Structure 1
Amino acid sequence: MTNRVFRRLPALAAAGVLMTGLTLSVAGPAAAQVDGPKNIILLIGDGMGYNHVDAASLYEHGTSNHQVVVDPATGSVEHLPGTASQVFESFPVQVAMSTHSANGRAEYDPVAAWSDFDWVASGATDSAAAGTALATGVKTNNGTVGLAPDGSVVTNVAERAAEIGKATGVVTSVMFSDATPAAWGAHSADRGDLHAISDQMIDSSLDVIVGAGHPLYGDDNELLDEPRHLYLSAASWDRLRDGETAFELIEDKADFEAVASGERLPEKYLGLTQVAFTLQQARSGDVDGVLPFEVPANDVPDLPTLTQGALNVLSQNEDGLFLMVEGGAIDWAGHANQIARDIEETVDFNRTVETVVDWVETESSWDETLVIVTADHETGYLDGSRSNPTWTPITGEQGQLPDQKWFSIDHTNQLVPLFAKGAGSEVLAASATGVDPVRGAYLDNVDVAGTMFGFWGGRPEGVGTPRPAVVPGLTRSETSMFGG
């Protein structure tokens, strides 16, 4: 059904939030009274917008769940019938999230985002600023990790969790010192200062650090003739290899699998998969004209295996855990406009969420664990193949590449999805006080950290405070978004 939804902003606030057995409060997280979860698991699909989720679902299942047709000339929006095919798409809390940094656009404008096809394509956040907002509740400038715009250090949720006795970890499918995981273990004015960031993470309070970035291996899991210390300095590699840090070093696929099966449970470990930039996305082989998974994969553990191992180790702490898991190479595939690799990485992320859900339901419970699935931003401006100046749906059949098109090689200011389930998830729903004409209710990325700080001993001053919806030039009334 096609609706002139731009004229009905109040209705969108309710329509955009799926909550089973919950009451949406517009008072924001500060008003919610809940017992804090014992465990929080945050899963970030780096670069994963609504259409990335659907492109993978079309390939896997032949179904989509978030497709729209938007015509800014008439102000009409058609939401296509959807099917929830991923486990997180059945979570009780489903809202959108804005991702802007302190510089660049520095805001999300719902009017501009859907009245001009190109508005979201410039001035977007990068992963450093977005990761910092998700980790600390503070907006910062692009390129900055764990610091406010004035250069002051801001505490992240993993550091707070460690302060109250919880085990903490980060797992990623890209280099462990890349911007997103670094936001939970380092503070740096330059996300590119990888050696210093790696050193900070190794010396941080994290108990588990897992990712790519092995100095002895290339993108195809091949042993290099000479070490390549791009992400980890030679001195730090020697410290890890020689057992001179607090971490046990794990490298071999069999050892990762032993941790995932529970046969081997170190107290603290740093896992370096035997590959350079990414687990799979950067491997050699055709990227155009092939289906996902047709190119032989690197012989390294996948993200679900790495995540299961981290959960096994962190859950040894009776006081609970915080774990951030990143499907980092979704972003890499988006930058390269590689739809087959993008689907591969998103499918791997989907299986990772399933692994986490299985862990909650077998080793923990939804009464004591909060699971959040979201993205730091969208990458590649993935949309239907007949888009601009309108937004058209991505379509496709199971087992085939979807009918789609990339409109950028960079990040965008699009809203991204957020799904949540478990202890305190209703607080995130209550934070969704913004209203978007297409995606409905949305929160901001700082609200994620603000909610977690609120659970675990109070949020720092100014972090996670509720804000009114930002709809420039409009009130929540029967007013056309496009003035017509």
Structure 2
Amino acid sequence: MRDFPPLLGFITIWLIAGFAVASPMNVILFIGDGMGSEHIKAGRYFANGDTRPLTLESLIYSGLMTHNNASNGTTDSAAAATAMATGQKTNNGVISLSLPGTGGELMTALEVMQADGKRAGLVTVDTPITDATPASFGAHDSSRSNQTDIANDLFNQTRPNVLFGEPGGGINPEFAAAAGYDVVLDQTELFALNTETTDFVSGQFNFGNAGAPTLAEMTTTALNILDDDPDGFFLMVEHEDTDSGAHVNDISRVVNAVVELDQAVDAALTWATTKNVLHDTLVVVTADHETGGLDVITNNGAGNLPGVTWSTTGHTQTPVPVSATGTSADAARVQGTIDNTDIFYILTSSSPPADPVPNFVFQQGMDGYTSTVDTMLQQASPTSNNASATELNVDNDDPSESGNEVHALLRFDDILGDLPGQIPLAAEIESAFLELEVSNAGDSIQLHRMLTSWQDTVTWDSLDSGVQADDVEALAAFDWVTASVNTGVLTMDVTDALRVWQADPTSNHGWVLLPSGSDGVDFSSGEGPAPLTLKVTVPEPSTLALVAVIMVLSICPSGRN
């Protein structure tokens, strides 16, 4: 073991303690899929005629939560759950991957807490455990439809201790048993579990049958299994039918689902009180999105369905309620209006990273920089030189119905080196973002790193049918991808590319933007009214770091051992 000077050890402990955030031992997240404020109101009217609030409405702190997806559009459950699970926005259909972005895996709150030594569990009702919401906390996949791959992630990679849901979705009893899980199939088998000795259990319940457990019973059993870990646990509990019922505008299914979710919340609070751990348990209740555009019109008393209207059978962008209880400061963070990405930081007792402040900004004509190079290659005009075009296009079908492609090439020269205004070769690149001003929204585009040199006078023909992402002309793997593009500023994370080019500046051949949809995207070129911009952040030495270095130098003699 390396010996550190006593004072340096003190500095290290002080730095860690100063920035640490006290966190609860146990974390429980309840999600009513598609459950908006009106769904809860309807459930309250049905449960008790509005004589008292539901348990989930009675938590200490409450607020509202926004939930748009990565393109600022209406979310699905995969993108919404990913945002809550990881703190980052994704495209609809994506399970905890950086899309738009590099496509890399995003660490989830469940995985963060497993790394802290905590046990973990996922519980859902009326859907398999591989469905989008629970999957986003323990799996990583480019499509929520790849349930066999998601099942493998859950049972063989992440391995939460408790996985309760419906059978199907890529799993069956034999699959779970082969992965080392005990399997229970009904309420009787669930109640027969020895919660003191059970390490891994898969519940696969046919919820339409009389012998299936309730969500409250599954929640209590999961808690009794997870609480054997002295480091605590993380548990996510979802009710799916608040969403499925709303999709068909069935208020009966919705209110029953809300009441069942509320009973599960009540069961968790009762469990925590009985175990005397309520003071060290964070409970958060929210939804992934609102479904149906529900509006409750009349209260017809307890046991009777309220009068309602619906505006859609799909999802809406209406903010959803969020509430929390617990003695840690995290519970209070749900107040006001938060975003679904904030849930990750609340669950993990952490803070969102500050937006990087770029100290190198490259844009044609800004501060004397004149080395942006860009053009586009048009299959329909294969010899056209577009070096001076003020607007570039990426398209799979231009002109319309022709099937002809348009590729865009862009590069920032003279950005790396030891001259004033250049990124030093020895500097640590913290982040790099490419920004394009989009004037015409469109479909998916992919950013690939170029591997061969080119000038802005190149054409479709001179590059032999445009650019091929074949690991010869351009990398086959993309640097960044998105499913759709809106108007306004499009920001792409290109940190990895800049780090590669920093190691070998001669390898900077820029990027090619390739289309993967028929609706093209238009954006301003370097010569256009809103030139493309590259923003790079290189961290400055912090004051604390300098103080620590000075103190270490003062206590470590130089020249002799």
Identify the TM-score tier after normalising by the shorter chain.
0.5 to 0.7
| Corresponding residue for residue 245 of structure 2 | 333
Instruction: Check if 1:126 corresponds to 2:71.
Output: no
Q: 2:302 aligns with which of 398, 401, 410?
A: 398
Instruction: Check if 1:183 corresponds to 2:86.
Output: no
| Corresponding residue for residue 272 of structure 1 | 204
Instruction: Check if 1:142 corresponds to 2:92.
Output: yes
Q: Which runs of 5+ in 2 are unaligned?
A: 1-17, 357-561
| Corresponding residue for residue 53 of structure 1 | 40
Task: Give, as a single letter, the amino acid of the residue that structure 1 aligns with 2:48.
Answer: H
User: What CA deviation, in whole Å up to 9, does each residue of 1:371-409 have, x standing for no partner?
Assistant: 00111111111104xxxxxxxx44331221101111111
Do the aligned partners of 2:285 and 2:322 also contact (CA within 8 Å) in 1? yes
Question: 1:461: how far off?
Answer: 7.6
Do the aligned partners of 1:383 and 1:394 also contact (CA within 8 Å) in 2? no
User: What CA deviation, in whole Å up to 9, does each residue of 1:2-49 have, x standing for no partner?
Assistant: xxxxxxxxxxxxxxxxxxxxxxxxxxxxx9985210010000011111
| Corresponding residue for residue 208 of structure 1 | 161
Instruction: Check if 1:408 corresponds to 2:312.
Output: yes
SS at match of 1:184: helix
Do the aligned partners of 1:38 and 1:321 also contact (CA within 8 Å) in 2? yes
User: What CA deviation, in whole Å up to 9, does each residue of 1:63-100 have, x standing for no partner?
Assistant: 1xxxxxxxxxxxxxxxxxxx642122221101111111
Question: 1:209: how far off?
Answer: 3.7
| Corresponding residue for residue 223 of structure 2 | 311
Q: After TM superposition, what 4+ stretches of structure 1 lie above 4 angstroms from structure 2?
A: 31-34, 262-265, 458-463
Instruction: Check if 1:429 corresponds to 2:332.
Output: yes
Task: Give, as a single letter, the amino acid of the residue that structure 2 aligns with 1:214.
Answer: P
Task: Give, as a single letter, the amino acid of the residue that structure 1 aligns with 2:174.
Answer: D
Query: Comparing both structures, which one devotes a greater share of its residues to strand?
Result: 2
Quick one: structure 1 residues 136 and 374, their matched pair in 2 at CA, closer, same or farther if it must change by over 3 Å?
same
Q: CA–CA distance in 1 between the matches of 2:78 and 2:107? A: 15
Q: Which runs of 5+ in 1 are unaligned?
A: 1-30, 64-82, 107-122, 216-230, 281-296, 385-392, 433-440, 464-484
SS at match of 1:418: strand
| Corresponding residue for residue 238 of structure 1 | 174
Do the aligned partners of 1:378 and 1:411 also contact (CA within 8 Å) in 2? yes
What are the residue-to-residue correspondences of 1:16-165 with 2, within 5 Å?
35-63=22-50, 84-103=52-71, 106=72, 123-149=73-99, 150=101, 151-165=103-117
Task: Give, as a single letter, the amino acid of the residue that structure 1 aligns with 2:304.
Answer: Q
SS at match of 1:154: coil
| Corresponding residue for residue 183 of structure 2 | 249
Do the aligned partners of 1:128 and 1:180 also contact (CA within 8 Å) in 2? yes
Q: 2:349 aligns with which of 438, 454, 459?
A: 454
Q: CA–CA distance in 2 between the matches of 1:257 and 1:239? A: 22
User: What CA deviation, in whole Å up to 9, does each residue of 1:196-222 have, x standing for no partner?
Assistant: 11111111333334333324xxxxxxx
Do the aligned partners of 2:32 and 2:240 also contact (CA within 8 Å) in 1? yes
Quick one: structure 1 residues 101 and 367, their matched pair in 2 at CA, closer, same or farther if it must change by over 3 Å?
same
Q: CA–CA distance in 2 between the matches of 1:249 and 1:212? A: 11
Which structure would you say has the larger Rg?
A: 2
Instruction: Check if 1:370 corresponds to 2:285.
Output: no
SS at match of 1:158: helix
Do the aligned partners of 2:154 and 2:160 also contact (CA within 8 Å) in 1? no
User: What CA deviation, in whole Å up to 9, does each residue of 1:284-335 have, x standing for no partner?
Assistant: xxxxxxxxxxxxx643111111111110110011110000000112111111
Q: Over the residues paired in the alignment, what is the CA RMSD in angstroms?
A: 2.3
Q: CA–CA distance in 2 between the matches of 1:299 and 1:249? A: 15
Do the aligned partners of 2:184 and 2:202 also contact (CA within 8 Å) in 1? yes
- The count of corresponding residues between Structure 1 and Structure 2 is 336
Task: Give, as a single letter, the amino acid of the residue that structure 2 aligns with 1:166.
Answer: K
Task: Give, as a single letter, the amino acid of the residue that structure 2 aligns with 1:448.
Answer: I
